[in-house]
């Protein structure tokens, strides 16, 4: 029962998060370009029955824009986390080929970990000219080191495992060893690692966009909504910042919880 | 007075003294009005192009009716052949280091500015000559009606051959004869200036000015926190005024509009490496349709909160702009008819296509500018029903220059007290030169009108040519002609100022660079204890 409980919790978290993600994606399909539609006679309207979360300076519904922003953050986070995991896995595999390559990869990991995330993110995003692609690349390129370190250690350990050594001694190919023995062990680590990266990725995407180095101010990204909100906060338009901020917080917490449940379960 | 006892008289005198001291007590003003120049405070490179350079003095100043007024020059005349300006300088003008400003400095400034290739248009200047210590002559190659504007905008710098003379570092350490001198400049953060003790004019009321270079949101927060005496705010954010401040509205000729790339894509790149051309905006039908579809009154209401008026040209209301250049209301039906006639067919996705080319292009704006962002987003929404997709895209200025300047439609702003700007914006000679004619607009007929205006005998005659360049009955750069721009709005500049600050009578501001509100700085007073 004690062993079953974490798995149950993980399954429950996975179910809830999947439902939320499906809802988020479906909402984008259903809403179309509604988040961009302006109502000039309802600018900066506070939350009410007609405008559930209020409207922005151009009369656009904040609930629709928050949903669109979360969906955008979700995709950016997904792609960045996936790319980051691939980089981590590739470099970890590279490190196991020789001691020199291992030293090189370790140096790269240590170097990247020693530079503050956000500064590196801003530099890369700025150099790439901003926009969705630049944000995904910047987040992916800066978030792999921690996972790479874990995967590298795991791979070194696995290579020394008796069944891997026996498999090699029996003349099995590298591909067979990798495919049959190493990857099945690494995949759960990759999955949890990617899930752990995801909240970081969306938070950094929002931060980057908030600071003006990320997505275009015309896209309904959470960072854009929050940056816009700061301009209007002193005018008393609190809803512009509160609801997108809460949405981001809930999404990050949801994935954080899911990843920690999965880590325990696996 | 003889009847008053001495103690009462002394009391009244002391009270007046204390009162006047209290009113004068405020020695420092903190301003957040933007306008930090990239190239420093060097007039030869463009600082003060709209007048009132603060650190330097100009030969003449611009009166409220836009006519020349004495400044460094007390007398001036133009020869019969309109080729020689003769100016007599005041004898009490000194630079901030105490050395006198002479005709040599003026001659040097004009020569150096002509070579520097900055914003001052001195292409017609043949040479400048110091006749004596206080008399200078400026000799032109050909008559040029707008040359007088250079006398009102070019700040005089010290001759490079004298002590503390002009050098490459001048923009960071300007030395001039204006009312203030630079004390410290932390780029991107703040500028501190203090009174120039040798200034020839009235002593400014404030010993020290601190200019903060903050973003829009930081400026607004600082204003609400009581840390600023005056703050420039975008109209959209000026709805709530802090209790200790008042809202100041300054009329302006500052405008915002969409500049269209005029050339089709042909693989060419500008010297900066930026690609040139846009196949969609190169079609006059697209440009005319956009001009017809935009509801400028709504733009003023939505993007400017009513602080402005619709714009139909680069100089609405000024004598060199035609009064007939306007649209009474948006006309979507006519816009659609123009697009249909030009072969732009509506597709199933709601977008128009011509020979497979979708009517889609980026509308780029500087991402730090709320007003331009709002204008871009609302304009895009207004042309969407036509089947034209303008994609509002926020970018940094350096990215705009590197990538977008000649291939995207750009949300620009101009507005000057001089028709010289019309020449820069629409003459093919300035195609691809800086921001002005970055769309590579070129029309030989328009060029001819602009050249005729520059060579005109009188301002009245010149104004006829300037207006003809806009529309001469056949062609022109304006709405009825090439529609090279979609001018949108003329702004009113909105400031939040401390209720104790009396800024006197504000004039009409040009484009926002160069702190237009400080034009009458010498009239500013602090009215509280």
Question: In chain B, what are the domains?
Answer: 1-36+187-252+493-529 (3.40.190.10), 51-167 (3.40.190.10), 255-491 (3.10.105.10)
The per-residue pLDDT for range A127-170, each reduced to its tens digit, is 887 888 999 999 999 999 999 999 999 988 888 889 888 998 99
Helix (H, G, I), strand (E, B) or coil at A59: coil
State yes or no: ipTM above 0.90.
Answer: no
- pLDDT, tens digit (0-9, with 9 covering 90-100), for B15-38: 444 444 444 568 999 999 998 998
Q: Please answer whether residues B204 and B29 qualify as being in contact, where contact means their C-beta atoms are separated by less than 8 angstroms.
A: no
Are residues B221 and A234, on separate chains, in Cβ contact within 8 Å? yes
What whole-number distance in Å separates Cα of residue B387 and Cα of residue B361? Answer: 12
Contact flag A218-B393 (C-beta cutoff 8 Å): yes
Instruction: Tell me the pLDDT band of B5, cut-offs 50, 70 and 90.
Output: low
The closest of B176, B305, B300, B174 to B237, measured between CA atoms, is B305
> What gap in Å lies between CA A152 and CA A90, rounded to an integer?
10
* Confidence (pLDDT) at B443: 98
A216·B396 Cβ contact <8 A: no
Model confidence pLDDT, tens digit, residues B405-429: 999 999 999 999 999 999 999 999 9
Q: State how far the Cα of B136 lies from the Cα of B85, in Å rounded to an integer.
A: 8
Note whether B68 and B140 are within 8 A (CB).
no
Judging contacts by C-beta atoms under 8 Å, the chain B residues touching residue A232 are 237
Burial of B190 (0-12, 13-18, 19+ CB in 10 A): middle
Q: How far apart are CA B431 and CA B22, in angstroms?
A: 56
pLDDT band per the 50, 70, 90 thresholds, residue A189: confident
Which residues of chain A lie closer than 8 angstroms to B217, CB-CB?
230-231
Beta B180-186 vs B125-132: how paired, if at all?
unpaired
Selected residue of A129, A229, A234 to mutate for chain B interface (largest B Cβ count, 10 A): A234
> How far is residue B463 from each of residues A175, B78, B467, B477, measured CA to CA in Å?
82, 19, 6, 15
pLDDT of residue B16: 46
Is residue A78 within 8 Å of A84, Cβ to Cβ?
no
Residue B221 to chain A, least CA–CA distance (Å): 6
Residues in chain A within 8 Å Cβ distance of B231: none
Mutate to test the interface with A, among B297, B350, B375, B381 (most CBs of A within 10 A): B381
Looking at the DSSP bridge assignments, the partners of residue B28 are B208
Q: What is the pLDDT of residues B325-370, one digit of tens each?
A: 999 999 999 999 999 999 999 999 999 999 999 999 999 999 889 8
What's the pLDDT tens digit per position in B114-137?
998 777 789 899 999 999 999 999
- b/e per residue A22-50 (b: at least 16 CB within 10 A): eebeebbeebeebbbebeeebbbbebeee
Asked whether the predicted pLDDT for residue A186 surpasses 70, the reply is yes
Give me the residue from A58, A217, A235 closest to B302, CB to CB. Answer: A58
As to burial, measured by CB atoms within 10 angstroms (0-12 exposed, 13-18 middle, 19+ buried), residue B312 is buried
- Kindly report the average pLDDT of chain B as a whole number: 92
Q: How far apart are CA A111 and CA A127, in angstroms?
A: 20
pLDDT average, residue stretch B165-181: 96
Beta pairing class for B352-354 and B357-358: antiparallel
**A238–chain B Cβ distance below 8 A for any pair:** no
Q: How confident is the model at residue B6 (pLDDT cuts 50, 70, 90)?
A: low
| DSSP-assigned letters across all residues of A217-255 | TTS--HHHHHHHHHHHHTTT-THHHHHHHHHHHHHHHHH
DSSP category for residue A181: I
Q: Which residues of B touch A57 (CB under 8 A)?
A: 236, 374
Query: Which one of A235, A238, A240 makes the best mutation probe of the B interface by having the most chain B beta carbons within 10 Å?
Result: A235
Taking an 8 Å cut-off on Cβ atoms, the answer to whether A58 and B377 are in contact is yes
CATH number of A4-32+60-265: 1.10.3720.10
Please state, in angstroms and as integers, the Cα–Cα distance from residue A246 to each residue in A62, A67, A223, following that order: 12, 11, 12
Q: Does A40 touch chain B (CB under 8 A)?
A: yes
Q: Report the pLDDT value the prediction gives residue B23, as an integer from 0 to 100.
A: 46
Return the residue of A nearest to B368 by Cα: A212
Q: How far is A32 from chain B, CA to nearest CA, in Å?
A: 13
Tokens of B415: 């507005």
Query: Percentage of chain B surpassing pLDDT 70?
Result: 95
With 0.90 as the threshold, say if the pTM is over it.
no
Q: In the predicted model, what is the mean pLDDT of residues B491-512? A: 93
Laid out side by side, the sheet with B73-78 consists of B73-78, B84-89, B135-140, B125-132
The pLDDT tens digits for B224-279 are 999 999 999 998 888 889 999 999 999 999 999 999 999 999 999 998 899 999 99
Cross-chain Cβ contact B377/A40 below 8 Å:
no
Where b means 16+ CB within 10 Å and e means fewer, A108-135 reads ebeebeeeeeeeebbebbbebebbbebb
Whole-number Å distance between alpha carbons of A117 and A77? 16
Q: Do B373 and A130 touch (CB under 8 A)?
A: no
Rounded Cα distance between B249 and B244, Å, is 17
Residue B354 pLDDT: 97
Q: Is A218 in contact with A231 (CB distance < 8 Å)?
A: no
Give the nearest chain A residue to B371 (CA atoms). A57
Number of cross-chain residue pairs from A and B with Cβ atoms under 8 Å apart: 53
Collapsing DSSP to helix, strand or coil, B147 comes out as: helix
pLDDT bucket at B468, cuts 50 / 70 / 90: very high
Q: State whether residue A41 sits within 8 Å of chain B by CB.
A: no
Quick one: pLDDT band at residue A2, thresholds 50, 70, 90?
low
Report chain B residues whose CB lies below 8 A from the CB of A236: 240
Beta strand pairing call for B135-140 and B125-132: antiparallel
Residue B143: pLDDT over 50: yes
CA distance B335 to chain A (A): 22
d(Cα B48, Cα B57) in Å, to the nearest integer? Answer: 10
pLDDT of residue A109: 94
Task: Pull the structure tokens for residue B524.
Answer: 């500013």
In chain B, residues with a C-beta closer than 8 Å to the C-beta of A38 are: 377-378, 381
Residue with tokens 């696996």: A266
| pLDDT at residue A211 in the model | 85
Q: How confident is the model at residue A5 (pLDDT cuts 50, 70, 90)?
A: confident
- Give B289: exposed, middle or buried? Use CB within 10 Å, 0-12, 13-18, 19+: buried
As a whole number, mean pLDDT of residues B376-399 equals 94
The pLDDT value given to residue A3: 57
The residue in chain B having the minimum alpha-carbon distance to the alpha carbon of residue A40 is B302
Longest dimension (CA), chain A: 77
Q: What is the model's pLDDT at position B18?
A: 43
Contact B378 A232 (CB under 8 A): no
From first CA to last CA, the distance across chain A in angstroms is 15
The residues spanned by each domain of chain A are: 4-32+60-265
Q: Whole-angstrom Cα distance, residue B52 to residue B153?
A: 7
| Residue A231 with chain B: CB contacts under 8 Å | 216-217, 220, 237, 370
Higher pLDDT, A218 or B192: B192
Q: Is A206 left (phi over 0), alpha (psi -120 to 50) or beta?
A: alpha
Inter-residue contact A57 to A225 (CB < 8 Å):
no
């Amino acid at each position: 029962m004690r062993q079953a409980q974490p798995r149950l919790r993980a399954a429950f978290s996975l179910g809830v998060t999947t439902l939320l993600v499906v809802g988020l994606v479906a909402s984008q399909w259903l809403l179309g370009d509604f988040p961009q539609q302006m109502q000039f006679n309802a600018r900066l309207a506070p939350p009410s029955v007609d405008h559930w979360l209020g409207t922005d300076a151009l009369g656009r519904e904040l609930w629709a824009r928050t949903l669109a922003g979360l969906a955008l953050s979700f995709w950016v986070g997904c792609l960045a986390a996936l790319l980051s995991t691939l980089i981590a896995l590739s470099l970890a595999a590279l490190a196991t080929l020789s001691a020199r390559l291992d030293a090189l990869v370790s140096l790269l990991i240590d170097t990247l970990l020693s530079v503050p995330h956000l500064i590196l993110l801003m530099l890369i995003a700025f150099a790439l000219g901003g926009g969705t692609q630049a944000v995904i690349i910047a987040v992916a390129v800066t978030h792999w080191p921690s996972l790479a370190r874990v995967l590298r250690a795991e791979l070194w350990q696995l290579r020394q495992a008796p069944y891997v050594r026996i498999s090699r001694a029996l003349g099995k190919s590298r591909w067979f060893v990798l495919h049959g023995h190493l990857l099945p062990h690494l995949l759960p680590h990759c999955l949890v690692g990617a899930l752990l990266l995801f909240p970081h990725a969306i938070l950094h995407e929002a931060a980057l966009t908030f600071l003006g180095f990320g997505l275009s101010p015309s896209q309904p990204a959470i960072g854009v909504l929050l940056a816009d909100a700061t301009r209007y906060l002193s005018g008393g338009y609190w809803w512009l910042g509160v609801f997108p901020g809460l949405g981001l917080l809930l999404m990050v917490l949801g994935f954080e919880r899911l990843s920690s449940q999965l880590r325990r379960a696996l | 007075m003889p009847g008053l006892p001495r103690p009462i008289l002394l009391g009244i005198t002391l009270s007046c003294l204390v009162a006047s001291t209290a009113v004068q007590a405020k020695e420092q003003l903190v301003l957040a009005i933007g306008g930090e120049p990239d190239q420093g405070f060097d007039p030869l490179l463009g600082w003060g192009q709209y007048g009132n350079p603060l650190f330097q003095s100009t030969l003449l100043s611009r009166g409220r009716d836009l006519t020349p007024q004495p400044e460094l020059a007390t007398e001036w005349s133009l020869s019969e052949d309109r080729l020689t300006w003769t100016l007599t300088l005041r004898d009490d003008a000194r630079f901030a280091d105490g050395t006198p400003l002479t005709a040599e400095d003026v001659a040097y400034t004009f020569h150096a500015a002509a070579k520097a290739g900055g914003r001052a248009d001195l292409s017609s200047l043949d040479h400048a000559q110091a006749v004596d210590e206080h008399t200078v002559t400026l000799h032109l190659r050909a008559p040029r009606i707008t040359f007088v504007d250079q006398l009102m905008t070019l700040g005089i710098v010290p001759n490079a051959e004298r002590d503390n003379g002009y050098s490459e570092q001048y923009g960071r350490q300007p030395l001039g004869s204006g009312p203030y001198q630079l004390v410290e400049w932390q780029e991107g953060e703040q500028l501190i200036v203090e009174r120039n003790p040798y200034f020839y004019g009235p002593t400014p009321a404030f010993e020290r000015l601190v200019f903060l270079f903050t973003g829009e949101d930081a400026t607004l927060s600082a204003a609400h926190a009581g840390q600023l005496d005056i703050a420039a705010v975008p109209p959209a954010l000026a709805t709530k005024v802090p209790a200790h401040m008042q809202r100041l509205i300054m009329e302006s000729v500052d405008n915002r509009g969409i500049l269209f790339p005029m050339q089709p894509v042909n693989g060419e790149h500008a010297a900066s490496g930026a690609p040139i051309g846009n196949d969609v905006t190169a079609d006059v039908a697209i440009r005319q349709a956009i001009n017809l579809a935009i509801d400028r009154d709504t733009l003023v209401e939505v993007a400017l909160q009513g602080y402005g008026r619709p714009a139909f040209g680069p100089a609405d209301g000024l004598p060199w702009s035609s009064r007939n250049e306007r649209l009474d209301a948006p006309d979507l039906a006519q816009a659609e008819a123009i697009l249909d006639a030009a072969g732009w067919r509506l597709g199933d996705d709601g977008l128009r296509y011509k020979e497979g080319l979708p009517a889609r292009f980026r509308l780029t704006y500087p991402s730090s500018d709320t007003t331009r962002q709002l204008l871009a987003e609302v304009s895009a929404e207004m042309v969407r029903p036509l089947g034209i997709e303008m994609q509002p895209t926020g970018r940094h200025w350096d990215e705009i220059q590197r990538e977008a300047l000649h291939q995207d439609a750009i949300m620009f702003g101009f507005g000057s007290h001089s028709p010289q700007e019309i020449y820069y914006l629409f003459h093919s000679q300035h195609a691809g030169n800086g921001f002005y004619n970055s769309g590579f607009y070129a029309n030989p007929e328009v060029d001819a009108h602009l050249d005729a205006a520059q060579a005109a005998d009188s301002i009245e005659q010149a104004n006829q040519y300037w207006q003809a360049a806009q529309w001469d009955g056949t062609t022109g750069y304006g709405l009825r002609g090439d529609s090279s721009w979609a001018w949108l709005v003329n702004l009113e500049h909105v400031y939040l100022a401390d209720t104790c600050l009396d800024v006197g009578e504000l004039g009409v501001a040009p484009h926002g660079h160069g702190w237009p509100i400080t034009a009458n700085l010498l009239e500013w007073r602090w009215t509280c204890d």
